[in-house]
Amino acid sequence: MKEFDLTLANPGADITREITVSDMNRPGLALAGFFIYHPAERVQLLGKTELTFFNSMHEYDQKARADILCQFPQTPCIVVARDLTIPDVLLEAANEHKVPILHGKLNTTKLAGRIQRFLDLKLAPQTQMHGVLVDVYGIGILMMGSSGIGKSETALELIKRGHRLVADDAVEIRRIEDQILVGEPPELLTNLLEIRGLGIINVMTLFGAGAIRTRKQIEFVIKLEMWQEGMEVDRLGLDDETTPILDIELPMITLPVMPGRNLAVLIEVAAMNQRLKRIGYNAARELSEKLLQAIEQDPD
């Protein structure tokens, strides 16, 4: 109601009903009397077409259809678009069954699209992970690693270089489509960055609104690991390592952390390289193919 400026037309309704699916339904067939495959668990959206048809029916039919439409206990609410007048018959049936009727001002198509996107985001499978999410050259990069390894300091350097912070320390991740993950900060930590020795800083206050994003699609994972003697690291970049998040495999690389390494620059280059891979260019594979061709032409 707050998100889309909807008003409750029947204050006595049960507004604690839960919305469990993100799909919506325009119950034109139901108003015509066909309830066999009626998806009652969805938000029911009534526009000008549905209400014009409803108002054209005989009062007896109106009462019968309105009563059946409102009698399902799993129906979360009915939304009326375009600031249309709600028929008294429908209001009476909704009051009897405690079904909320929400009144909206937007036209039906726009309201349906916006509510659909909102519900897709809110009802998506989600998890929370320890890490830092940044937007580097348009690529959403999730930095992971043990506590104190330098994720937040690296994020601060990236912000100074013109990139944007999405979330620090805790990242709430939602799967909004089959292969799309979106990350955002917990509400309490929005715009905040923790730097050891400095404490908590507000990135938007210090660097401006252009230094933060409220949410970002996660396309790449960078794992920071402290360098140890004998540590195995992919030097050519031929190994396409991935990591699963909410059953989606994301490309991942491991960056060793050692004194003197500029992690911010390395992450910038990794983001640009990932963009090239996305359009089909892979420098490591091109080098490998050239080496194989050279070996075939001159086996000695």
Domain spans of the chain?
A: 7-122, 126-288
Concatenate the DSSP letters of all residues of 174-240 into one string: EEEETTEEEEE--GGGTTEEEETTTEEEEHHHHH-GGGB-S-EE--EEEEEEE--TT----SS----
Supply the CATH classification number for the domain 7-122.
3.40.1390.20
Q: Which of 117, 130, 261, 290 is catalytic?
A: 130
Please say if 135 is a catalytic residue: no
**pLDDT exceeds 90 at position 41:** yes
Please say if 300 is a catalytic residue: no
Strands 139-145 and 132-136: antiparallel
Weakest mean pLDDT among 187-191, 227-231, 255-259:
227-231
pTM score: 0.72
Question: Which pLDDT tens digit goes with each residue over 78-131?
Answer: 999 999 999 999 999 999 999 999 999 999 999 999 999 899 888 889 999 999
**pLDDT exceeds 70 at position 284:** no
**What is the average pLDDT value for the chain, to the nearest integer?**
91
HEC string of 17-76 equals: CCCCCCCEECCHHHHCCCCCCCCCCCEEEECHHHHHHHHCCCHHHHHHHHHHHHCCCCCC
Place of tokens 């938007």: 204
Please say if 38 is a catalytic residue: no
pLDDT at 141: 97
Q: Which of 61, 67, 120, 169 is catalytic?
A: 169
Host H or E run for residue 272:
helix 263-278
Question: Which pLDDT tens digit goes with each residue over 163-197?
Answer: 999 999 999 999 988 889 999 999 999 999 999 88
CA dist 217 and 138 (Å) reads 9
Q: Which of 52, 47, 96 is nearest to 70 (CA)?
A: 96
Question: Which pLDDT tens digit goes with each residue over 11-28?
Answer: 999 999 999 999 999 999
Domains 7-122 and 126-288 equal at CATH topology level: no
Residue 235 — pLDDT band, cuts 50, 70, 90?
Answer: low
CATH fold for domain 126-288: Rossmann fold (3.40.50)
